[in-house]
Amino acid sequence: MKAIRGRDDEELHDDLRHLQKEVFLLSLHGLGEAKNPARKRQIRRQIARIHTVLGERGRGVTHNAKES
């Protein structure tokens, strides 16, 4: 999360578009056996993290607590 929080909004939006496209492509090609079946889950989690950070910034939430 530190790496995501350290990036600016434009970079996060670019990453979000790229990851959403990758999930879409994996879904299209998902009919056959995937080389890495966990990749789609990893991408979805990364998308959720980016949405969380962007939402926090929109609400003005700050993180002073120690991250685990």
pTM equals 0.78
Distance CA 25, CA 14 (A): 17
- Token pair recorded at residue 29: 């090609």
Per-residue pLDDT of the chain (68 residues; tens, 9 = 90+): 788 989 999 999 999 999 999 999 888 876 666 677 788 899 999 999 999 999 999 998 877 655 54
CATH architecture for the domain at 2-59: Orthogonal Bundle (1.10)
Q: Where are the domains of the chain?
A: 2-59
For position 68, what pLDDT does the model report? 46
What SS3 state is found at 14?
helix
**Alpha carbon separation from 34 to 7, 38, 65 (Å, rounded):** 31, 9, 39
